[in-house]
Structure 1
């Protein structure tokens, strides 16, 4: 079975932070990232910053909407997931491809990213790292 998409690159990475002011100062002032957007309606305190053509999502773990992303151990992981941008794909073909490799789909969603709003599949690699496989934009996300 062939892979049902072509890799395009990294769409975004989600970093867990517990001091949004400090995080924004670093990403804006030190790295020169550009202000992106946020989704307060989702009940999460996130700020998305542009790092070239990709996004870095800063997710405030002190906000109640981040409860499921907080590491189970103090000082634990600080990255929620890595999003991999792909070419267009047929969701049924991707489901079949993942199943053929014994990969369980954690969840599916349609939401924003560096290229706009599109279909995503969340899976885990063999080491427990969460990956988002994200197709291209189905519609623009306001950049």
Structure 2
């Protein structure tokens, strides 16, 4: 039987947080996402990350009670990979350091767009974010 659809990319990822202001500051001011839809009755804000959404659901808000993790101390996401335009690695290191964000790992490996350089960070709520530039050709040229 044929699959009745074809995947086209990540639509959204939902992250549980406990300080909406701090989360919005991180995604908008540090990562450059744009404000998206707002659902105050649910304790939920969304930010655009390119053509995908990151949904921030505040578990301390009355509207976010049903979003609370069912396992105390458990995680529901390992990491989110944010695909980016080409960037200067040293400038990114400086930018993150200026905002008190520690790089926990740098790696060069594959992803949906091919082999490229990645920076892994933890953001204020403990979730891991991978910031991944575009794929590189073997001769070092960046692929747009």
TM-score (norm 1): 0.50
Greater RCO, CA 8 A, separation 6+: 1
Tell me the CA shift for residue 7 of structure 1.
Answer: 1.0
CA separation in 2, counterparts of 1:23 and 1:75? 19
Task: After TM superposition, list the pairs within 5 Å mapping 1:46-61 onto structure 2.
Answer: 46-61=44-59
CA separation in 2, counterparts of 1:11 and 1:51? 10
Task: Give secondary structure in 1 for the equivalent of 2:28.
Answer: helix
Unpaired stretches in structure 1, ≥5 consecutive residues: 83-143
The root-mean-square deviation of aligned C-alpha atoms, in Å, is: 1.8
Task: After TM superposition, list the pairs within 5 Å mapping 1:13-92 onto structure 2.
Answer: 13-40=13-40, 43-79=41-77
User: How many pairs align?
Assistant: 78
Answer with 1 or 2: which has the greater Rg. 2
Unpaired stretches in structure 2, ≥5 consecutive residues: 81-144
Task: Give secondary structure in 1 for the equivalent of 2:26.
Answer: helix
Q: Which runs of 4+ in 1 moved over 4 A?
A: none
